Chain A
Amino acid sequence: MSNRVVITGLGIAAPNGVSIPAFTQAIKTGTSGIRHDPQLAALQFSCQIAGKPEVSEELQLQYLDPLELRNFNSSGILYGLIAGIDAWKDAGLAIPTGNDPDWESGVIFGAGSSGLDKLREAIYKVDALQVRRLGSTVVPQTMASGISAWLGGKLGLGNQVTTNSSACTTGAESVLMAYERIKNGLATRMLAGSTSDAGPYIWGGFDALKVCTYKHNDTPTQGSRPMSGSASGFVPGSGAGALLLESLDSALERGATIYAEVLGGHVNSGGQRGDGTMTAPNSIAVQRCITQALAQAGVKGMDVDAINGHLTATGKDSLEIENWSKALGRAGKDFPYINALKGMVGHCLSGSGSIELVASVLQLKEGFLFPNINCEDLHPEISAIIDETCVPRELINVNLNIIAKASFGFGDVNACVILKKYING
């Protein structure tokens, strides 16, 4: 049994837009969601700018009831709930109220960690000999699978309910896991996505690794500069993206709006061998991930119209371009269009893959390429491989058929998803 798999719903909680219409508008206009962060400044971080979704209390109450919001302190779960429930509704699916689980629908929603702020509260209480005063709210907010458990309950999901975790590839991986489940006939619908907590306790380790920029504390919107010659490290971000995957048969039967088809993809690891380490990619594995993804999707390097890169604005961007070029067998003017969402939202870590996949799907559906902001000065190592025109600096309205999206993560792990515009049949 092999089903075709399509995307019928999208949801997002991104630093530059919390809802699909707001996010679509933001990425088309190149609007940055990076702001100065007073908390990071007070804590003397090197990087004092960050990307956080703006969620009002009023908006929170649309997803969590007042009891659930009592002692609630898990930003990642909040972002994931917004994205996940919005994607479900966007697909035209109802929030079930009956007693029966929906056996044909599940969720694979990734996270890097869960409820770090909540965990911090709990740790302080435990150390102060107050373990009995933790109450009932610590476990559901701090267990790694918290977000999938919350979504599973809200939506009455009766198929697989789980959380995957593979650093910054998490979001791309969750979509591929959901894709395989539907393709193999084990589920009809899977909510796929990923989320990342916001705040100093998640970003501190990266600040300490000296991989974040410290040069733009007074110019936050210019801080995240993927592919730029003056890129100086990534800007920490947070948020969640969600995609409702469904068998083509089910989508057609329901008369659902089809955003795009997931043609296939691949996940692998460089094994931290060769050039690969805990924090650096093995280029052979990156290239293999891309070529395997294309093969699995049944398309050729020449068929790719646009790439949505991982492109974090660190020294590794040039290497990523080189790897794409080798894997696709294309260079110079022959290289596809490429863009990087991180210029606008920063690096949303475990949330990044799914947020960027949502952007990629919107580009296919509506026929545009969002601008690469802060890339006025394309890195010379990149312009030595590909033509300047492959890197749009302004919004381009263009009909795209195939987008390749890749994410790479600590642990030397890679994921590449091949998306295709859906045209009847």
Chain B
Amino acid sequence: MDKETLITELKAIVKPYAKDEEALNNINENTDFITDLKINSANLVDVILDVEEKYNIVIDNESMEKMVNVKAAMEIIESKLA
């Protein structure tokens, strides 16, 4: 899967949780879920569950801790799909 597609798919996943619409529209590899998108930290677990469901993968506890921005999310998804 190319990066553009993955970012577009991630954007759809985080959309319901993102409180900063402008940051969501400009989402890119360097976007941070909490500081940029203003996602409530408690909702990060919901983002992860939605990612698991979308790609039919299981994200372990260690990976979960790292999944706080778009770049890390992409890396984790790609490694699980590989």
A133 in contact with B16 (CB, 8 Å):
no
Contact with B along A145-189 (1 / 0, CB 8 A): 000000000000000000000000000000000000000000000
**A133 to B42 alpha-carbon distance, docked (Å):** 14
Residues 113-149 of A contacting B (Cβ, < 8 Å): 133, 135-137
Per the bound structure, the CA–CA distance linking A137 and B17 in Å amounts to 13
Residues of chain A within 8 A of B43, CB atoms compared = 67, 136
Which residues of B11-66 are within 8 A (CB) of A?
A: 16-17, 40, 42-43, 45-46, 49
| A67 contacts B16, C-beta separation under 8 Å | yes
Contact of A135 with B16 in the complex, beta carbons under 8 Å: no
The tally of residues in B whose CB lies under 8 Å from a CB in A reads 8
Residue of A whose beta carbon sits closest to that of B64: A132
Cβ–Cβ contact A135 & B49, under 8 A: yes
Interchain CB contact (< 8 A) of A70 among B16, B40, B42, B45? B16
Question: In whole Å, how far is B19's beta carbon from the nearest beta carbon of chain A?
Answer: 9
Q: Which residues of A contact B45 (CB under 8 A)?
A: 135-136
- Report the minimal beta-carbon distance from B38 to chain A, rounded to whole angstroms: 12
In the complex, chain B residues whose CB is within 8 Å of the CB of A135: 45-46, 49
Q: Give the distance in Å from the alpha carbon of A136 to the alpha carbon of B64 in the complex.
A: 14
Shortest B34–chain A CB gap in Å is 14
**Across-interface contacts of A133 in B (CB, < 8 A):** 49
SS of B interface (majority) = helix
Q: Could you tell me the distance in whole angstroms from the C-beta of B21 to the nearest C-beta in chain A?
A: 13
State A236–B29 Cα separation when bound (angstroms): 54
- With both beta carbons as reference points, the residue of chain A lying nearest to B44 in the complex is identified as A136
Give Cα distance in the complex from A67 to B24, angstroms. Answer: 16
Q: Please indicate the chain B residues that have their CB under 8 angstroms from the CB of A136 in the complex.
A: 40, 42-43, 45-46
Q: Pick from B16, B42, B46: contact of A66, CB below 8 A.
A: B16
A70 to B17, alpha carbons, bound, how many Å?
A: 10
- Which B residue's beta carbon lies closest to that of A67? B16
Q: Report A-chain residues with C-beta under 8 Å of the C-beta of B16.
A: 66-67, 70
B17 to A67, Cβ gap below 8 A?
A: yes
CB distance from A359 to the nearest CB of B (A): 38
Q: Which chain B residues lie closer than 8 Å to A66 at the CB level?
A: 16
- Report the minimal beta-carbon distance from A2 to chain B, rounded to whole angstroms: 42
A70 to B49, CA, bound (A): 13
Q: Which residue of B lies closest to A66 (CB)?
A: B16
Task: Name B53's closest neighbour in chain A (CB-CB).
Answer: A133
Q: How far is the CA of A67 from the CA of B37 in the complex (A)?
A: 14
B17 CB to nearest A CB, Å: 6
Report the bound CA distance from A136 to B16 in whole Å.
14
What residues of A have a CB within 8 angstroms of the CB of B42 in the complex? 136
Pick from A66, A70, A135, A137 the residue with the most CB of B within 10 Å: A135
What 6 new A-B contacts, CB under 8 Å, besides A70-B46, A136-B46?
A67-B16, A67-B43, A135-B49, A136-B43, A136-B45, A137-B46
Q: Which 8 A-B pairs have the closest CB atoms?
A: A136-B42, A135-B46, A136-B46, A136-B45, A67-B16, A136-B43, A135-B49, A135-B45
